[in-house]
Amino acid sequence: MRFAHLHLVALLFLCPAAGWSGLPENARGSGENAGHWQPDPMHEYWDPGTYHQPETGPMAGRFQGEECLECHTVVTPGIVRDWRESRHAKSAPPVLCPACHGEDHQKLRLPTPRTCGECHPRRVAQMEEEKKYGFPGHALAMERAVDSKHFADKPKAEVASCLQCHSVATKCDSCHTRHRFDPAEARRPEACLTCHSGPPHPDDEAYFASPHGQRYLQEGSTWDWSRPLRKGHYPTPTCAYCHMKDGNHQVADKAVWKFGIREINPRTAENTIKRKRWLSTCADCHPPEVARLFFRELDTERRQAWGKLYGVEGLLKALRGEALLRPSARERPPYPMDLMARLFPRERIGFYEGQASAFYNVGAIERDYFEMWYFDNLGAFKGMAHGAKEMSRRFHERLDAEARAIAAKARHLREGKGAGTAEVDLAPIWMDGEYTRFNRDNN
Ligand code: HEC
Ligand code: HEC
Ligand code: HEC
Ligand code: HEC
Ligand code: HEC
Ligand code: HEC
Ligand code: HEC
Ligand code: HEC
């Protein structure tokens, strides 16, 4: 037996053709804009259910788990070592390679949540349940990304990384990585930070600046991470402790303000239920009054932020009424994939009138406003939501400074100093320029 396998290994290394078959030349994208983008080889990993192409190299045959192990100890020793240390290897009977990848080496699959769900149905069902709370959320992450117009529209180089993060929906190894599948890894904040960092979602900065994160930084290395995320097990909470309470694999059932990008009424019946879930999370360690006060302050901060944003929005709308926004909707190149904007050009000011992707073909004053609500506003929210008040204050200072700068620009325009000149000539950027040609040729 053993000899036969070594023989196979030898045969394999003699054969230079071994390798992934790769995506077909004409592979199509997925989602609403499927016809407008082509997947890259990495999409085989990020969305394996849609894109993984089975190995069609010289390796042929059906194998039992022990045979996979024997050969892969030589071919991919790191994978086998990680697997041997995992609970999958130690459970009885062990969960062998074919459980996730199949037995036929010409038809191997990379596992999707559905594959894991064959043995972990409760966890997969919890993630699926997120969908009823709408976006954002992990279960919807892939479709939200590929359905964004700017994902299909912009040059590949600018959107190459989107699906690395948004693949959280299409595979289960984002937080407990393959092939250890170690919950201890997933409990730590670092498991989330590969994706939850940087503008417009500076969750890392907010958490590490909070009293909870500070304590983690000081003593987290001495905590026993093998313990489940339950009351009494950890002195201060990590991301997963708060957002996946008791190991619940859904992150959306408590979110009131969500991404922070819309104004929301925190007192609706549904939001009151969500708040109660938050209060019971904090109650693991704090008296109820601490949490109640905390959320009252968060809602106040949100009201202030939206007050500032609406003030500027009103100003821009007034400028639009006075025909002082240049380039105007008719002058500027329409957003390439936006058919409605071509037929019926109109300025779209702020979140409610247009999505983020609509803000690349506008004049400087509108772009400034976009920066306000997309970066400064979201940073202010994330700081406050995580108890990093100083961070939130800093972002509010920036909101104020931007608002003042926009008001000064508006005065300029009204005094006639800026009128008549589009601040940037955008036509070459969008419809006719190098940027668009590159996009058409490479996307
Ligand atoms: C005789 C040796 C041998 C045996 C037995 C073997 N493999 Fe492989 N396997 C390989 C080699 C070599 C590669 C790398 C092929 C390449 O890079 O072209 C590979 C690649 C893979 C890949 C990655 C391919 C992809 O499409 O992503 C997976 C997954 C895999 N094997 C799983 C298994 C499983 C599961 C079994 C048992 C059912 C198994 N292998 C049995 C040699 C073997
Ligand atoms: C519990 C499920 C599970 C088991 C068991 C499992 N794998 Fe995997 N394997 C995965 C996941 C998940 C991926 C990553 C898929 C992705 O990125 O889309 C993966 C990827 C791979 C790959 C792709 C190469 C890469 O770059 O990581 C190889 C090769 C592989 N596994 C081999 C094995 C072998 C050999 C065994 C047995 C020792 C094994 N796997 C057991 C879940 C499993
Ligand atoms: C064939 C069944 C099977 C499949 C398929 C499977 N698992 Fe498991 N998994 C198990 C068993 C059995 C255990 C051990 C449970 C126990 O001991 O309570 C386990 C344990 C785990 C654990 C806990 C490990 C620990 O150290 O406590 C994680 C995490 C996990 N699986 C994730 C996954 C993921 C992710 C996938 C898909 C990529 C997957 N499993 C696919 C059967 C499976
Ligand atoms: C592989 C990347 C990735 C990892 C790792 C990841 N997330 Fe996410 N998360 C996302 C993406 C992408 C979204 C937004 C998806 C969308 O467009 O709807 C998101 C959304 C969320 C939301 C918003 C839910 C809502 O309703 O507003 C929360 C909360 C969240 N994640 C918490 C976590 C926590 C806690 C961890 C670590 C235990 C984590 N995430 C790990 C990518 C990731
Ligand atoms: C570094 C990881 C990362 C990258 C790269 C990334 N995202 Fe996200 N994205 C996230 C996270 C995390 C959230 C959720 C933040 C929150 O809820 O606070 C998010 C939120 C979103 C949302 C808003 C939520 C929703 O469902 O409406 C959209 C749309 C989105 N991303 C699309 C994209 C597109 C398109 C790209 C590429 C241009 C991209 N993302 C790149 C991590 C990432
Ligand atoms: C956002 C991060 C994240 C993602 C994505 C994720 N997990 Fe987990 N997983 C965790 C955390 C955190 C724990 C530890 C929970 C605890 O301590 O109670 C865990 C633990 C587990 C366990 C260990 C035993 C248990 O039930 O508590 C299993 C099984 C598991 N996850 C399966 C899955 C499956 C299947 C998927 C894909 C549908 C998945 N996980 C995706 C974070 C994640
Ligand atoms: C002390 C508990 C706690 C910890 C720890 C924590 N968060 Fe939060 N997080 C919150 C609260 C509270 C909100 C605001 C909830 C709302 O809008 O209703 C929030 C908001 C978010 C959101 C926006 C979606 C939403 O639920 O509103 C994301 C994404 C997020 N946190 C990710 C993270 C990440 C990543 C970490 C770790 C780096 C982390 N959080 C640590 C409590 C926590
Ligand atoms: C697992 C226990 C635990 C949970 C859950 C928890 N906290 Fe804390 N929290 C602590 C500890 C411990 C400290 C003190 C940290 C330190 O040493 O500075 C703290 C500090 C704080 C502080 C700062 C108080 C001060 O005196 O400076 C606030 C505010 C706070 N938490 C709010 C919350 C809110 C809101 C939630 C729920 C969303 C929450 N905490 C969840 C343990 C927890």
For 315-362, write each residue's pLDDT tens digit: 999 998 998 988 887 887 777 777 777 788 777 787 756 555 556 677
What separation in Å is there between the alpha carbon of 60 and the centre of ligand 8?
56
Q: Encoding tokens for residue 347?
A: 């300025």
Among candidate residues 232, 210, 235, the one with its CA nearest the CA of residue 222: 235
Alpha-carbon torsion angle 141, 145, 146, 151, nearest 10: -170
- Give the largest Cα separation in the chain, rounded: 89
379 confidence band (pLDDT: 50, 70, 90): very high
Q: What's the angle, vertex CA 315, arms to CA 314 and CA 316, rounded to 5?
A: 95
Instruction: Note the ligand closest to the C-alpha atom of 57.
Output: 1
Q: Encoding tokens for residue 120?
A: 């972990």
406 to 205, 324, 326, 364, 425: CA distances (angstroms): 27, 13, 14, 10, 20
Ligand 3 atom with the shortest distance to the CA of 111: 38
pLDDT, tens digit, for every residue of 91-118? 999 999 999 999 999 999 999 999 999 9
8 confidence band (pLDDT: 50, 70, 90): very low
Q: What's the angle, vertex CA 191, arms to CA 253 and CA 281, rounded to 5?
A: 35
Contact of 203 with 239, CB cutoff 8 Å: yes
What is the overall mean pLDDT for the chain?
88
Residue 15 has pLDDT above 50, yes or no: no
Q: Encoding tokens for residue 276?
A: 């109660």
What separation in Å is there between the alpha carbon of 83 and the centre of ligand 2?
9
**pLDDT number for residue 296:** 98
Among candidate residues 17, 40, 16, 42, the one with its CA nearest the CA of residue 27: 40
Q: Where are the domains of the chain?
A: 1-17+39-110, 113-174, 288-442
**pLDDT number for residue 10:** 43
C-alpha 53/C-alpha 42 separation (Å) is 11
Residue corresponding to tokens 């019946």: 269
What separation in Å is there between the alpha carbon of 243 and the centre of ligand 7?
6
**Which residues contact ligand 5 via a Cβ below 6 A?**
135-136, 144-145, 148, 150-151, 159, 161-162, 165-166, 195-196, 201, 259
Q: Name the architecture of domain 1-17+39-110.
A: Orthogonal Bundle (1.10)
The stretch 284-302 carries a mean pLDDT of: 97
88 C-beta closer than 6 A to ligand 3:
yes
Among candidate residues 326, 346, 330, 332, the one with its CA nearest the CA of residue 412: 326
pLDDT, tens digit, for every residue of 43-82? 999 999 999 998 777 889 999 999 999 999 999 999 999 9
Residue 12 has pLDDT above 50, yes or no: no
C-alpha 168/C-alpha 176 separation (Å) is 11
The stretch 142-151 carries a mean pLDDT of: 90
